[in-house]
Amino acid sequence: MSSQRLRQAYRTVRDWVQGRDALDRNAELSGALLSSTVRGRTGVQSLHDVEFRVYSQFGDDGIIQWLTGKYPSLPRRFIEFGVEDYTEANTRFLMVNDHWEGLVLDGSASNMARLRRRKWFWRHALTASHAFLTRENVDGLLASWASGRPVGLLHIDVDGNDYWLWDAITCIEPGIVVMEYNGVFGADRAITVPYDPAFDRIAAHHSGQYAGASLAALDHLASRKGYALVGTNSAGNNAYFVRRELLGGDVRALLPVAAYTAPQFRESRNRAGQLDYLSLAERQSALRGLPVWNVVADQAELF
């Protein structure tokens, strides 16, 4: 490539990066304004009412701002699993806007390498670790980072062993826990995929819909750990739990059937790996007969 072409390529990349940085700054300024409004809201009947999006996939940035605003004494540390390269993540705005310290983990080394090259990585107290998390290693990895320090918020989204990972964590007791739930599993049954340390949702079923745990299963585990379910996001994929001693005011315990939101997105795939846009009922039908684990009865069943 000639020197002229190299210079042009450099300018193209530079302009793209500068444009992306400008978009980030504008999004963060808008988010800061929304945060100041949301944090002061009272009389909130549903977490859906406080949603807004800056870096979260759906409206979770707003929910997290509202909840953390209710508890200003929470330790300003977070942990989030399954962040890919952290471009889109539920704790990134919390880090940027509120200056929380955090640990993010992902199973892809290339995702973590890409994250470390971003400007905001060195600007904030963020630790990025490449790890494939299992029930056997998760508690030790978190304990090593936390080093006995309390954590304010934990978010688990690994599209698979989510239930089993939270079950295995004993080294921290965050005030707020955000868990991805599988709305395709419905509102009533307390079920999860059986534990497999090497679980991969596409390998498990071509649709990608056979993964994670139902809302009722996560609520059962939360209750055992001293947490209460306080709502879900309007997209129908993230559930919010707080420690029971923090309940009060607008933050109320809900039953899973009352908090459940059916998934609004359609990400199922056919056998060729293409999006097929199946309805919820069609996705549920596609999973019939697959093995699940009933966490209340502590036994295997079929979906």
Q: How far apart, in whole angstroms, are the C-alpha atoms of residue 132 and residue 207? A: 22
User: Which CATH number fits the domain that encloses residue 196?
Assistant: 3.40.50.150
Decide: pTM greater than 0.85: yes
How confident is the chain (303 residues) per 10-residue block, as mean pLDDT?
Answer: 52 49 79 90 96 97 98 97 95 97 96 93 95 97 97 97 98 98 98 97 97 98 98 98 97 98 97 97 98 98 98
State how far the alpha carbon of 19 is from the alpha carbons of 12, 119, 167, 173, 203, in Å: 11, 13, 42, 40, 38
- Could you give the residue ranges of the DSSP H alpha helices within the chain? 3-39, 60-70, 92-98, 109-116, 119-123, 138-146, 162-168, 201-204, 215-225, 256-259, 280-287
Number of compact structural domains in the chain: 1
Q: Which domain holds residue 287?
A: 3-302
Q: What is residue 15's predicted lDDT score, i.e. its pLDDT? A: 43
172, 150 Cβ separation under 8 angstroms:
yes
DSSP 195: P
DSSP 193: P
Q: What is residue 24's predicted lDDT score, i.e. its pLDDT? A: 79
Q: What is residue 141's predicted lDDT score, i.e. its pLDDT? A: 97
Nearest Cα to 218, choosing from 200, 252, 245, 193?
Answer: 193
Helix (H) or strand (E) holding 18: helix 3-39
Report the C-alpha dihedral over residues 262, 267, 271, 276, rounded to 10 degrees. Answer: 90
Q: What is residue 25's predicted lDDT score, i.e. its pLDDT? A: 78
